[in-house]
Amino acid sequence: MSHRSNAREGILVGCGNPLLDISATVPMHFLQGYGMKEDDAILAEERHMPIYRELVENYKAEYLAGGSVQNSLRIAQWILGQPKVAVFFGCVGKDNYADILREKAREAGVDAHYQVSTDTPTGTCAVLITGTHRSLCANLAAANKFTIDHLKQPANKALVDNALYYYISGFFLTVNPPSIMSVAATANAKQRPFLMNLSAPFISQFFMEPLLKVMPYVDIIFGNEAEAHAFATTQGWPADADLREIGKRLVALPKINSARPRIAILTQGCDPVLLIQHDTVQEFEVTRLAVHEIVDTNGAGDAFVGGFLSQYVQDKSLDVCIRCGNYAARHIIMNPGCTYSGEPDFVE
C-alpha cells in the first residue's frame, strides 16, 4: 500500500457482523423461489438455509469478505492507503470461511480482532444479483455470538479506548446491543464522534427499542431513502413527510451531548445526498452513471460510508467527506460486489 494519509494506527474502531459474501448472478425465479424481492436485505430464516449451497453448486459464485461495517472499513483503508488505521470487532466461527475472512481483511489493511465461536460456523450472506439489482440474505451464524466480554479483554479494551472515531451498523443491534452501548458510552465520555447507520428497513421495523436507546449517543446517522422512511413510519411521523423533513426530525431526537448537535446524512440513489444539521439541508450532487457502467450496486451504501470515514478521520470538512463518499460509491458500483480496483484517485 502506498502511504497517502498520515492518520495514526487504530484511530477508527468499527463493530459489526463479519460475513463471507457468496455472490452470484441469478434469474428472477431464483429470488421468487425463496420469497424474496429485488433489493431485499433480510435475515435468513429456516426456509432460506439451502440458498448458500445452491449458489455454490449451481451458479458461478464468488467469495468476498463482507458484512456492512467490515466493507466500509475496507473501503476507508483503500482510500487512506495506510494499513491498520481501522480496527474491526466481530465474531466468526472456527472454520475455513473464517480463515478466508481473516486473509481478506489483512489484505485490505483492516486490523480485525475476531471473537471466535467454536460451536457455530462463520456467518454468510447470499448476494443475489438480478440485472443491476442485488438482494441480500444474511445467515449471521457465528456473528450472532458476539459478546461484550470480547470488548472487555484488556488488549481489546485498549484498542477501543485508543480510538478517536467509532462506527457501528444498525445491523449489529440484532446481535449485541450491550456492546454498542458500551462503545457509545466510551465515545461520549471521551468526547469523540460516534457514527451509526440505519442499515436496513427491518432494523427500524423490528429493533426500534435498542435503536432508540443508542440514538442519544449518535453524532452522525447515515441512511438511505427506504431506511429513513421505515424509521419515520415506525415512529408514527407524518406519512407525507419527505426525506428532508425526516432528516430534520432525526437530528432533533434527544441527544446526550448537546454541545455536538447530531448530523444526518441521507443518500437517495442517483439523486443528491442530503446533509442535515440544525435546521439546514444541503444537497450534494451524485454523478450519474450510464446504464452500461453499472456493474453491481451491492455495497454502494457501505462504500459511501467508507469514503466518508477516510476523510472524516483526517479531520476534513463534511463536504469533502461526502464528496469522497460519493466517489467511493460510484467506484464500487462499477465493480462486482463491494470490491475496488486500482489506486484511488479521489481529489479534494
The answer to whether residues 176 and 18 touch, using CB atoms and an 8 Å cutoff, is no
Sign of CA dihedral 148, 150, 156, 157: positive
Q: What amino acid occupies position 203?
A: I
**In this structure, how many other beta carbons lie within 10 angstroms of the beta carbon of residue 157?**
14
Please pick, among 119, 219, 302, 319, the residue that the annotation labels catalytic.
302
Q: What are the backbone angles phi and psi of residue 123, rounded to the nearest 5°?
A: -65, 150
- Rounded CA-CA distance 329/300 in Å is 5
- Rounded CA-CA distance 53/339 in Å is 23
Burial group, residue 280, by CB count within 10 angstroms (0-12, 13-18, 19+): exposed
242 classed as catalytic: no
Cell matching residue 28: 428472477
Cell matching residue 225: 431513502
Tell me which residues are annotated as active site: 302
